[in-house]
Amino acid sequence: MLPRVLIPAETIAARVIELGRTIDREIPEGPLLVVGVLRGAFVFMADLVRAIPRDVRCDFLGVRSYGDATETSGVVQITSDLSAPIAGKHVLLVEDIADTGLTIRYLQEILLARGPASLRLCALLSKPSRRRTEIALDYTGFEIDDSFVVGYGLDSAQRYRNLPYVGTVQAEHK
């Protein structure tokens, strides 16, 4: 059974274009390094970088905090680091979802310690009701209630990433 549509593909596409324009306008001129958090952010990031009309470079961080579970372990593990230094660069960190805030907070601290010219945070989805730590997102696609979501890069035990929309599904793994 396919997940129930929460945010249709057309709505996502329109919002991503808006985000790209806003990011281009607000981040200082010059090259922009967009860092995607793997694996969930790759679909969103691909569309987002195409919506930012400037010189954009891409890199990725592999991070694990969920595994195949539907609840975060609370422990963030970097599984793959950036391929180049970020010192002096304008950096946009792109996440699929800001849930507890633990992963974004951890990555923000690590990246700031590397001396970027600026660091902005962007998440496709935000679930403020689940926060366990305060975070300040610079750019948010959609704020959602506390439901388990999949699609548009987000998964449940590696399933549903390929859906063109964000949908809700009953949690399959505890």
Q: Which domain holds residue 101?
A: 4-168
Token pair for residue 104? 């974004």
End-to-end CA distance of the chain: 19
- The answer to the question of residue 37 being in a domain is yes
pLDDT at 72 over 70: no
Residues 155-165 pLDDT 10s:
998 999 999 99
Give residue 174's pLDDT. Answer: 39
Domains identified in the chain, total number:
1
Cβ atoms of 102 and 76 closer than 8 Å: yes
pLDDT at 115 over 70: yes
- The answer to the question of residue 92 being in a domain is yes
- The answer to the question of residue 174 being in a domain is no
Query: Within a 13 Å sphere around the CA of 83, how many CA atoms are in the beta-carbon half?
Result: 8
CATH number of the domain that 55 lies in?
Answer: 3.40.50.2020
Token pair for residue 41? 């952010």
The question of whether 146 is a catalytic residue gets the answer no
The single residue of 24, 99, 145, 146 carrying the catalytic annotation is 99
